[in-house]
Structure 1
């Protein structure tokens, strides 16, 4: 892994652990044992670093969508929620959950990139819910987009809340989301 990728990876970790406003290039330089100038060589501003991090997540989402494309809708939703579960096991929030808190403090460039990630996530989730409903795997009254928004807000809220409640609560919320979709 080259220096640029290490900076992106550590920046991503710091955002997901601490939040956008709670880390600096100095934190990265200390942990990677490099000079701030090395970071600025790759990322002249914190904005450029955060944009690279968000773009990395857009690419990961596309890879995820490709990997699950042949799965049934229930498997797709379960695997989607498992991505969030994996992050919680590591004590991290998702990039959407982490950055949405600071959205109003961002430059318009970061806001645009974050909206792209959110829109891509929401579109995929809406289409997956639509597919599941048409196959009668999922039962819900809301339109697909509203149900996708409800699902996302539930899981992002669960990320926040279960930082201060019990570890098993996240799993229970994830299971309740799935059960609510399938009416089990």
Structure 2
């Protein structure tokens, strides 16, 4: 892993553990054992680092989309849900949820990148739902984009809420999403 990649990875961890406003370059330098000047070499400002961290998440989604592009809509949906399961298993929170908490204090460049990331996820899931409905794999009454937003918000919320309740609640919500999408007989 390069120094740049290590810095982004540590920033991602700190954003999702403490929040964007609660960490500094000094925290990163202490944790990965480099000078803050090295961080500034790669990321002149904290906003540059924030944008790079979100871009890393965008790249991961694009890679996942490509990996499942030729799979069934159900497999694609399960891949999306598995991302949230991984976040839950790692005892993290979604980067969007974490940064949205600090939204009013973020630089416009971070807000813009975060909006693009959110739109990417919404658009991808909306497409999965449309494809699944057209193939009679999914059945739902609301607009596909609305259903996508409902699924996303349910998953993001249950990742956080199940930290206070039980893992069973996370599984219950995930399974309910899949069950509710099954065509009615």
TM range (shorter): over 0.9
**Native 8 Å contact 1:17 1:91 kept in 2:** no
- How far the C-alpha of 1:17 sits from its partner, in A, is 1.9
**Native 8 Å contact 2:87 2:159 kept in 1:** no
Hey, what does 1:22 align to over in structure 2?
22
- Scaled by the length of structure 2, the TM-score of the pair is 0.95
Q: Which runs of 5+ in 1 are unaligned?
A: none
Hey, what does 2:101 align to over in structure 1?
101
Hey, what does 1:72 align to over in structure 2?
72
Is it true that 1:120 corresponds to 2:91 in the alignment?
no
Would you say how many aligned residue pairs link Structure 1 and Structure 2? 184
**Native 8 Å contact 2:126 2:145 kept in 1:** yes
**Native 8 Å contact 2:137 2:183 kept in 1:** no
Equivalent-residue separation in structure 2 for 1:109 and 1:77 (angstroms): 30
1:72-91 equivalence runs, <5 A: 72-91=72-91
Greater than 3 Å deviation, 4+ residue runs:
none
Equivalent-residue separation in structure 2 for 1:98 and 1:182 (angstroms): 31
- Scaled by the length of structure 1, the TM-score of the pair is 0.95
- How far the C-alpha of 1:183 sits from its partner, in A, is 5.3
- How far the C-alpha of 1:167 sits from its partner, in A, is 2.1
Is it true that 1:92 corresponds to 2:92 in the alignment?
yes
Equivalent-residue separation in structure 2 for 1:84 and 1:6 (angstroms): 23
Equivalent-residue separation in structure 1 for 2:27 and 2:179 (angstroms): 42
Q: Which 10-residue stretch deviates more, 91-100 or 81-90?
A: 91-100
Equivalent-residue separation in structure 2 for 1:97 and 1:77 (angstroms): 20
